[in-house]
Amino acid sequence: MSYVDNSLPDLELSSNYSTSDLENEDLQLAEGDSYEEAFSKLEKAILDNEETIAASLNDLNTRKIEIDDIPTKTSQLTNDSGFLTSHQ
């Protein structure tokens, strides 16, 4: 069995490194991007996704609370239409 070393060399980011302020399609990695530009774009994409996922989870949590308020037993309902509730 042969082994291929796919490890990356140690990379150091410069002191000028910062997360990209690009959005959407502009975050696509492009030929000729330096490793620092590529990391900056990837970091921004991850952060954007993290914000989107957090907002979605908060929305789901809010909906769950609303769902918990829905009656699950007929005794919790009000017979405001006057339907027969027992055999006549």
SS3 for 34-53, per residue?
CHHHHHHHHHHHHHHHHHHH
61: domain range?
A: 24-68
Q: Would residue 14 count as lying in a domain?
A: no
Q: Would residue 1 count as lying in a domain?
A: no
**What is the model's pLDDT at position 65?**
65
Contact 85, 79 (CB under 8 A): yes
The total of other beta-carbon atoms located within 10 Å of residue 44's CB is 18
Distance between CA 41 and CA 38 in Å, rounded? Answer: 5
Distance between CA 31 and CA 9 in Å, rounded? Answer: 20
Q: Would residue 13 count as lying in a domain?
A: no
Would you say residue 6 has pLDDT above 80? no
pLDDT tens-digit series, residues 58-75: 888 777 766 677 888 888
Would you say residue 1 has pLDDT above 70? no
Would you say residue 19 has pLDDT above 80? no
Of residues 35 and 2, the one with the higher pLDDT is 35
Q: Would residue 18 count as lying in a domain?
A: no
Q: Would residue 74 count as lying in a domain?
A: no
Q: Domain count for the chain, please give it.
A: 1
pLDDT tens-digit series, residues 21-56: 878 888 888 899 888 888 888 888 888 888 888 888
